[in-house]
Structure 1
């Protein structure tokens, strides 16, 4: 059954759209299964679990060009342990169902970039996650323009906000992520987009919901998003490949090489 508080969903196999009201409490008020081609910029971030020999979705992300994915920093870096979460990451694009790989495109992540300040922000302060943004550079480009289910999202203008008035409750922003409409918890929305669907502009990156960084929350508890327009300088530096070696404000890491085709031959762990 479709829940009224759609952020009370567990990660599953389907891409779910979430409509976010801008009332003072910012409740998630409704959601529905996504349609093919509805969110071509949405990707699934996955890692390999060697024990059960399956792949696990752990966060969402958005395509900003053929080489780059934007997501949340906490998806790739564990601040409480001061280390990266995974040695290799593969993104899966072109799908709305993790169990249906017909249109899936797999790409390995080669480099990760995030503000160095994020590692200094005491990650366990979940109610104030500053600088929770990261960019992933792929080893091989995505087929933008030639794949019917893959597209890029636009970046906002400097200081652009989705909502012009705090008390406006009629404007809506869309969140999307992989989940299931018949369960009571949510995981896997982190790193996904809050965007202006009318203009295809990425306004925010889902950082946390309630008191859990990976998105589990109770109905009515706020959802925190990182405002993308505030980080345009960081984003443009990465996209232009113009990060100076002496630049200590951006933390760069190279991940291990992994054959992403291997993911296509493995089932997705715990997908409903």
Structure 2
């Protein structure tokens, strides 16, 4: 993939599978379990049609942040042609149509202006403007965001959700997965035995226990944390270690949403 520059010899992109790979289309969180239906209502499946023939497959996760806007990772954007994407909200089992889903075309793609395809530089965030608004059918919800510049304390328990790979061998259950994952503060995550200088203050690290992590297919999805009396999306899944996803001292790294709210609100009116 185009983001695999030199520093990425030790990390991989969590989710943006090559567009010709139609076999790894619905993987899951490592160390997770089936989510309870109709719970993580802001979770989105971002789907991609690489050949322009209407054959969409799950590419990345995302979060509903407005009736017209989805938040995801910039590295999930394989093409700036909006008509190659759709989002599915109210999704649970990617292999079944359950009547809760809404399939909505993407009208416009807005990638953060400072994104330069280098994950170590951060700014891995993008917004998708939808052609039609998300309808409140009881299976969807607009995500709450954290307070601007809010930073979570070390050890705080959040939840990662998605359809990312379950393991190194590529197990691919179709049902949305969820797992509790503990925040690793910046002072620890940026240590030499952790992510070092690749961990920026505009990121959130979580996991690193060798058990629970995000994996390929989870990119762009939410890090949901219960703070200030509500569930809020504090992170956007960005990257993790190469090879085994759940490595000790190599936590999943998220774009820290609270560091980008001025930009988000400048677009989402």
Q: Would you say the 8 A contact 1:60–1:71 is kept in 2? A: yes
1:89 pairs with 85, 98, 103, which one? 85
Secondary structure, in 3 states, of the residue corresponding to 2:114? helix
In structure 2, do the counterparts of structure 1 residues 176 and 85 end up closer, same or farther at CA, with 3 Å as the change threshold?
farther
Aligned residue in 2 for 1:32: 33
1:178 pairs with 160, 163, 171, which one? 163
Aligned residue in 2 for 1:231: 260
- In structure 1, list runs of 5 or more residues that go unmatched: 1-6, 19-27, 78-82, 241-272
Once residues 71 and 161 of structure 2 are traced to their aligned partners in structure 1, the CA distance between those partners, rounded to angstroms, is 14
2:240 pairs with 209, 218, 221, which one? 209
Aligned residue in 2 for 1:251: none
Residue 72 of structure 1 and its aligned partner are, at CA, apart by 0.4
Aligned residue in 2 for 1:61: 62
Matches within 5 A, 1:161-200: 161=151, 163-164=152-153, 166=154, 169=155, 171-179=156-164, 181=166, 184-185=169-170, 186-197=215-226, 199-200=230-231
Once residues 263 and 54 of structure 2 are traced to their aligned partners in structure 1, the CA distance between those partners, rounded to angstroms, is 36
* Residue correspondences, number: 200
Once residues 96 and 183 of structure 1 are traced to their aligned partners in structure 2, the CA distance between those partners, rounded to angstroms, is 23
Secondary structure, in 3 states, of the residue corresponding to 2:128? strand
Superposition TM-score, scaled by structure 1 size = 0.65
Give the root-mean-square deviation of aligned CA atoms. Answer: 2.7
Q: Would you say the 8 A contact 2:160–2:224 is kept in 1? A: yes
Once residues 47 and 12 of structure 1 are traced to their aligned partners in structure 2, the CA distance between those partners, rounded to angstroms, is 10
After superposition, give the CA deviation of every residue in 1:11-54 in whole Å (9 maximum; x if it has no partner): 5547x5x6xxxxxxxxx7x4111111111100101122449963
Superposition TM-score, scaled by structure 2 size = 0.66
Residue 179 of structure 1 and its aligned partner are, at CA, apart by 3.8
Matches within 5 A, 1:39-188: 39-50=40-51, 54-77=55-78, 84=80, 87-102=83-98, 103-119=100-116, 123=117, 125-126=118-119, 128-144=120-136, 147-161=137-151, 163-164=152-153, 166=154, 169=155, 171-179=156-164, 181=166, 184-185=169-170, 186-188=215-217
In structure 2, do the counterparts of structure 1 residues 53 and 238 end up closer, same or farther at CA, with 3 Å as the change threshold?
closer
Once residues 91 and 180 of structure 1 are traced to their aligned partners in structure 2, the CA distance between those partners, rounded to angstroms, is 20
Once residues 25 and 59 of structure 2 are traced to their aligned partners in structure 1, the CA distance between those partners, rounded to angstroms, is 11
- In structure 2, list runs of 5 or more residues that go unmatched: 1-13, 15-22, 171-214
In structure 2, do the counterparts of structure 1 residues 111 and 231 end up closer, same or farther at CA, with 3 Å as the change threshold?
same
Task: Select the structure of larger CA radius of gyration.
Answer: 1
Once residues 162 and 81 of structure 2 are traced to their aligned partners in structure 1, the CA distance between those partners, rounded to angstroms, is 20
Residue 97 of structure 1 and its aligned partner are, at CA, apart by 0.7
